[in-house]
Every structure is written in C-alpha cells, then in structure tokens.
Amino acid sequence: MENYKNKLIEEKALIESELGGVAIKHEETGVWEAKPVEETYTEADENDQADRTEDYEERSALVNTLGDRLNDVLASLADIESGKFGTCTVCGMKIEEDRLEANPAARTCKTCMNKVN
Ligand SMILES: [Zn+2]
C-alpha cells in the first residue's frame, strides 16, 4: 500500500507541475483552465490568429487530459486514506493487483475498463 501511495504522490507532483506550465487553477472550483498561448509571432496577420486558436484548442485538450488524470490520482489517494483503495468504482469488486501495479490511479477493474472503452 505504501508503494502505491508513494507512486501516486509522485505522479500528483508530476501532473501538477505539467499543468502549472500550461494552465491556471481556478481558485473557487479547483478546475484547471488552459492559459492563453503566448504570442510568439512578431507580425500579426490573419493566419497567426488561426494558429493561436488551434494552439489553444490543443492546449485545452492536454489540460483536460491532465486534469482528469489528476482527479483519478487524487481520488485514489483519498481512497488509501479511507481504506477503499483498490475497489472498482463501477462494480465494487477488487481491482487486479497487476492493473494497480501498472497504474495505481486505476479506478476500475479490468472487466469494467473493457466495458467503458
Ligand atoms: Zn469492475
């Protein structure tokens, strides 16, 4: 269990530092919002605006992925505290050891993972 906890704490720090580079945490809601993309163009023309919009969409998608991942990590850490760690959130069965080894933030067992995807 300590092993999983350490891995989760490590991953939490990693995700938060990645998010810190591309997003700002909303104080009240705790939701991460993508930062505006820096203007790296010296001259403004119409294509630049389109590029920036595209960059921002890419960044938003990354922030969403990292945010979801962070939520799983935080939920798993909370589960360790409350003694529920390793329980599938869909069917309530134990999550397989090898699945947790590969991903301590897994929220579902293998059966339910396959159903979801
Ligand atoms: Zn399950």
Give 82-115 pLDDT, tens digit per residue. Answer: 999 999 999 999 999 999 999 999 999 999 998 8
Compute, in angstroms, the gap from residue 16 CA to the centroid of ligand 1.
28
Torsion of CA 11, 24, 56, 60, to 10 degrees: 50
Q: What's the CA-to-centroid distance between 99 and ligand 1, angstroms?
A: 12
CA of residue 44 to ligand 1 center, whole Å: 52
Distance 95 CA to ligand 1 centre (A): 7
Ligand 1 centroid–CA 96 distance in Å is 10
Burial 47-81 (b: 16+ CB within 10 A, else e): eeeeebeeeeeebeeebeebbebbebbeebbebbe
Task: Record the pTM.
Answer: 0.84
> What is residue 115's predicted lDDT score, i.e. its pLDDT?
82
- Summarised one tens digit per residue, pLDDT across range 63-76 is 999 999 999 999 99
Per-residue pLDDT, 104: 97
Reported as a single tens digit per residue, the pLDDT across 17-66 is 999 999 999 999 988 999 998 766 555 667 777 888 889 999 999 999 99
